[in-house]
Amino acid sequence: MATRIALGNNKGGVGKTSATDNLAAGLAEEGKTVLVVALDPQMNAERRMGVHVDEDNPIPTVSEAIKNAQPGVAVDAITEIAWPEPYRSLIRVIPARYDLENRVSEAAVPGAVLRLRTALEGVDDDVDYTLFDLPPSLGHLTQLGLCATDHALIISEPEYDSVGSAVRMRDFIDENAAVLYNPGLNVLGYLINRYRAQLGAHNFQLDGLDERFGEGSIWTPYVKERTAIKDAADSEVPLRALGTAVATEAADDWRKLAQHLIKVTS
Ligand SMILES: Nc1ncnc2c1ncn2[C@@H]1O[C@H](COP(=O)(O)OP(=O)(O)OP(=O)(O)O)[C@@H](O)[C@H]1O
Ligand SMILES: [Mg+2]
């Protein structure tokens, strides 16, 4: 059975999708198989792995899987990624499409929030980790992911607003896990992205985090702000494939975070 983890924050642009793709890469480097489930109509997670969902490429996506909602139907949407080996053999993606937004208007139908969990039944039984890339909201798409997952991982910048949004996400999970049919849902920890050591404000935020979120809940290493991380995402390649010293150092940090993920979930 896969261990399922939903990566989120109520704030946009903090690196939820970067964390999803780079942790998938780190897990693959540890020999783990990974299914990435894109739950954001922005379609970033799969695009950065070289999967393009558009009118010229009409493949089944998470949107149809949620709409259909029959047990196991999401298997039809599993897609190969375009990254090189070893990633290509170990990582699969269930892409999103812009019309995923249409699933939101169906949220009032009784049991609607269970649709993704049902569609995924049995689909990741032979996968080690399933990662959900959540959108920057606490609305229905995020709730579909929180209903289907075992754990949440909150991604945050060491910034005032981002930490505030992380708190909202944590409180939302605490208050709503039971009504999302997932009373055991827990927050695994907090992954810090876009750290700039020279910024006093970042270090000030980081100083207070352990106390705020709980001893040991802040994952290390912190992921630094690195042009290489953006460059790899923009060119649809794994970070390590860039081959520069900075990219390798960043890929090593993501791998350490993947090792931590394995440790706290096994
Ligand atoms: N550590 C980093 N260093 C440099 N660039 C980064 C870093 N993390 C993310 N980025 C870049 O910043 C942008 C926003 O990151 P990303 O899309 O991963 O955030 P997100 O939280 O998923 O955003 P959204 O809320 O829109 O889904 C992207 O262009 C990404 O490549
Ligand atoms: Mg994103």
Rounded to an integer, what distance in angstroms lies between the CA atom of residue 68 and that of residue 8? 25
**Domains assigned to the chain:** 3-265 (3.40.50.300)
Q: Is the pTM of this model over 0.75?
A: yes
DSSP codes joined into one string, 163-226? HHHHHHHHHHHHHHTTTTT-TT-EEEEEEE-SB-TT-HHHHHHHHHHHHHH-TT-EESSPPBP-
Q: What are 169-198's pLDDT values in tens digits? A: 999 999 999 999 999 999 999 999 999 999
Residue ID of nearest Cα to ligand 1 atom 31: 230
pLDDT of 106 reads 97
Rounded to an integer, what distance in angstroms lies between the CA atom of residue 20 and that of residue 38? 9
Q: What are 33-71's pLDDT values in tens digits? A: 999 999 999 999 999 999 998 888 789 999 999 999 999
Q: Which residues line ligand 1 (CB under 6 A)?
A: 12-18, 40, 42, 44, 136, 193-194, 223, 225-226, 229-230, 233
Residue ID of nearest Cα to ligand 1 atom 30: 230
- Among 18, 131, 169, 249, name the best residue to mutate to test ligand 1's pocket (greatest count of ligand atoms within 8 A of Cβ): 18
Helix (H) or strand (E) holding 64: helix 62-68
| Residue with the two structure tokens 């923009």 | 234
Ligand 1 atom nearest 250 alpha carbon: 1
pLDDT of 198 reads 95
Rounded to an integer, what distance in angstroms lies between the CA atom of residue 107 and that of residue 129? 27
Mean per-residue pLDDT over the chain, rounded: 97
pLDDT of 55 reads 83
pLDDT of 57 reads 79
More confident residue, 211 or 30: 30
Q: What are 75-132's pLDDT values in tens digits? A: 999 999 999 999 999 999 999 999 999 999 999 999 999 999 999 999 999 999 999 9
pLDDT of 54 reads 84
| Residue with the two structure tokens 């995923």 | 100
The 10 Å Cβ neighbour count of residue 86 is 13
pLDDT of 56 reads 83
Q: How many helices (H) and strands (E) does the chain have?
A: 10, 8
